[in-house]
Structure 1
């Protein structure tokens, strides 16, 4: 008999997650835990503060940085088709990012640079070591931060899709700035995912959204996943909130009637721009758990999935990213990866990521397990919130 989930432990999961709703720490939650063939879904709370419309299983969430895994799969589809190789320079397709210069140090003035030792490659984008990314310091600590913010590059805090410039303009602005580190030198968050999305568009000759639709979403039946929300699905979109530390209350960050996802976005963010449902994302995770296969469709080869979900960083490349990785995690190709068991749920080989818009999803091949938690509240620190750690502790404790 296949091991599944223990009913008494799932009741505990329900009680603890419900506590977050009852204490009004968060308006609503949709969560999924699967262990082999046993799948359990929780829908708790409401679509907005002070509103009675309940969260539903088909609620459409802004999934933020767990978009990154899907973008990585899109890139590896092109690799498998020999349209581009992992160690190819991206300059042929993204000439805006050619002939780079690198700041002598993060605190340097913008003209204190040295030439890049080599070109940025596709592998650099997938391993988030292109040499540019989020600056993990308070605003205005370093000269480069002002331009990252002014240029709306996306490496200086959460952004709505409408706040990005167009893709070509985004690339030009990024290319006008010096790199923060040499290509391949160290892992840096966020910007590599957006550059990867632009590269996929240029290599494929299609927009990122159309390529994902044709090569991933339609074959998997992910009918509610996209960079833009159709107007007829607006009732399934919850209000999205950020926490105001001055008032200790939730403020609306993206409403429903005027949501940034209702109009065409100037730049489809491969680093964090998709909306999706719990079941759509579960389908994607099952494909990855099944080594690239979904029913009779092979999205990626087994060898490719195994490469993507293996550790691709050296300890030296992880230096400075401890707030993301701690001592238990690293990075594969486009996704986080557990390499050491510090917590109940840190199984070596477990892969996935969390999103700044209150989403998290991980797949554990060793346990045959998938966990997904969607909320509509912003996470304002790279450190994992208690809700996330409670969810994973309870999910792993529920396994037979």
Structure 2
């Protein structure tokens, strides 16, 4: 990979930054470092989820509240009868709730996952739930409200609350946040999370003043590393029109560590409190509906992470020579990784940008390396 940055911290201590390489293969590219910018894609999801948990804490949302209270178009959903064969559907027996959106158990899907029949419909309606090329952008809804209303016209992959299916649910949650808070979703995130935490290098659209810090995104084509979104001309330098809560942010290792430190600090960091301790404990617990016992397609090498919290996996058991039960985190499509281990109070952010994210076993490698520094890590042991 051209460059990589890791931010690793424990307790209240500032993070240690470890970096190597540059932000692109260009001869004059800057060294990768704590303030380099990376497309974090689905690592946006935990940020959106915590924004929703703020509204839960304030009583403006409830976990088991139907989202049709905020988006009426979701009031009469239908469920596919034979997902692998046709779009024939029946009325849903349960309403989609806030909990379902937070945990990917809503029955919604993604344009690149699930059965072909449903994928084609998501594609036909321009429901990518993220940035697209020029042609794709013309087909996408121009507002988050329009996106949510259009998604609501499609049948569900499964009955709400019965299966884990990676989906645009966190994007829909952004619209719920808009309605519940009475302000645009991106403004709510900026005012309630990014600004209070001092996350000054986290953007929906990168300003010209920061453009030189953006890494190039790569893909492997026939064994060669090929730039697919050069930093100097990146699509993130232009407004997308819709700020998607499932994949829209660019951030730095320093900034995302700040977000993790807030979670590790039970909602508070350096005297700035964003969430009550009880709310963070709830958000980082297993929120899956009864009967849903395992997460699946769309995850990295996290086979032991059988639980799911607010926007991220939760390990329910210890992994031999690896993370501890209670570890919460998520990853991004271009290889970024972030997690916190409440038992050891360790937090980890890794920034890279390449497709596919599974090209290298970064997650398992870094977990093995960190935990190998102590035979029995506990809250009283320091990781060196």
Aligned pairs (5 A) from 1:77-116: 77-110=54-87, 112-116=88-92
The separation in 1 between residues aligned to 2:133 and 2:312, in whole angstroms, is 21
**Secondary structure in 2 aligned to 1:227?**
coil
In 1, distance between residues paired with 2:32 and 2:319? 33
**1:130 and 2:106 equivalent?**
yes
Q: Secondary structure at the match of 2:355?
A: coil
**Cα distance between partner residues in 2 of 1:280 and 1:319:** 31
Partner of 2:317: 340
Whether contact under 8 Å (1:67, 1:271) holds in the other structure is: yes
Q: What residue is the counterpart of 1:14 in the other structure? A: none
- Residue in structure 2 matched with residue 266 of structure 1 by the alignment: 241
Are 1:351 and 1:362, in contact at CA under 8 Å, matched by a contact in 2? yes
Equivalence for 2:213: 236
Q: Helix, strand or coil: the match of 2:90?
A: strand
* Equivalent position SS for 1:173: helix
Q: Deviations over 1:357-388 (max 9, x none)?
A: 2100000110111111000212355xx84122
The counterpart of 1:40, out of the listed 5, 9, 16, is 16
1:370 partnered with 2:344: no
How far apart in 1 are the matches of 2:113 and 2:233? 32
User: What's the TM-score, normalizing by structure 1?
Assistant: 0.85
Matched, 1:146 2:111: no
The TM-score with structure 2 as length reference comes to 0.89
Q: 1:173 aligns with which of 150, 157, 177?
A: 150
Give the structure 1 partner of residue 187 of structure 2: 210
Unaligned runs of 5+ in 1: 1-25
Contact 1:107 1:143 (C-alpha < 8 Å) held by counterparts: yes
Corresponding residue of 1:256: 231
Q: What pairs up with 1:375-390 in 2 under 5 angstroms?
A: 375-380=352-357, 385-390=360-365
**Matched residue SS, 1:321:** coil
**Structure 1 residue 144, shift from structure 2 partner:** 1.4
**Residue pair 2:200, 2:255 contacting (<8 A) in 1 also:** yes
* Shift, 1:396, TM fit: 2.0
Provide Cα deviations, 1:125-177, integer angstroms capped at 9, x if missing partner.
Answer: 11211111237868xx531111122323237xx75487453223322321121
* Structure-1 separation of matches of 2:322 and 2:257: 18
1:175-190 counterparts in 2 under 5 A? 175-190=152-167
What residue is the counterpart of 1:5 in the other structure?
Answer: none
- How well do the aligned residues superpose, as a CA RMSD in angstroms? 2.2
2:285 matched to 1:310? yes
Give the conservation status (yes or no) of the 8 Å contact 2:306–2:315: yes
What is residue 377 of structure 2 aligned with on the other side? none
Q: 1:329 Cα deviation (Å)?
A: 3.1
Q: Is the 8 A contact 2:110 2:119 kept in 1?
A: no
Q: Cα 1:240–1:204, aligned 2, differ >3 Å: closer, same or farther?
A: same
Question: How much does 1:253 deviate?
Answer: 2.1
- Cα deviation per residue 1:273-302 (whole Å; 9 max; x = unaligned)? 111111111111011001001222220111
C-alpha separation in 2, matches of 1:235 and 1:207: 28
Among 246, 264, 278, the alignment partner of 2:253 is 278
Q: Give yes or no for the alignment of 1:194 onto 2:171.
A: yes
Query: How many residues end up aligned between the 2 structures?
Result: 366
State whether residues 161 and 261 of structure 1, in contact with CA within 8 Å, keep that contact through their aligned partners in structure 2. no
Secondary structure at 2:351's aligned position in 1? strand
Deviates more, 1:327-336 or 1:291-300: 327-336
Contact 2:219–2:355 under 8 Å retained in 1: yes
Contact 1:125 1:193 (C-alpha < 8 Å) held by counterparts: yes
Q: Deviations over 1:237-263 (max 9, x none)?
A: 01111222xx21122222223312112
